Structure 1
Amino acid sequence: MSRRSPKNFAPEFKEQVLKMVESSDKPIPVIAEEFGISAKNIYNWRKRSHEKLTSRDKDEILEVKEENKRLKKKLAQLEEEQAILKKACAYFARSLP
Structure 2
Amino acid sequence: MSFVPAPHPPEFRQRAIDLARSKVKPIGEIAKDLSISESCLRNWLSQADADDGNSSSTRLSSDEKRELTELRKKTRRLEVENEILKRAAAYFARENVLPK
Greater fraction helix: 1
- Normalising by structure 1, what TM-score? 0.48
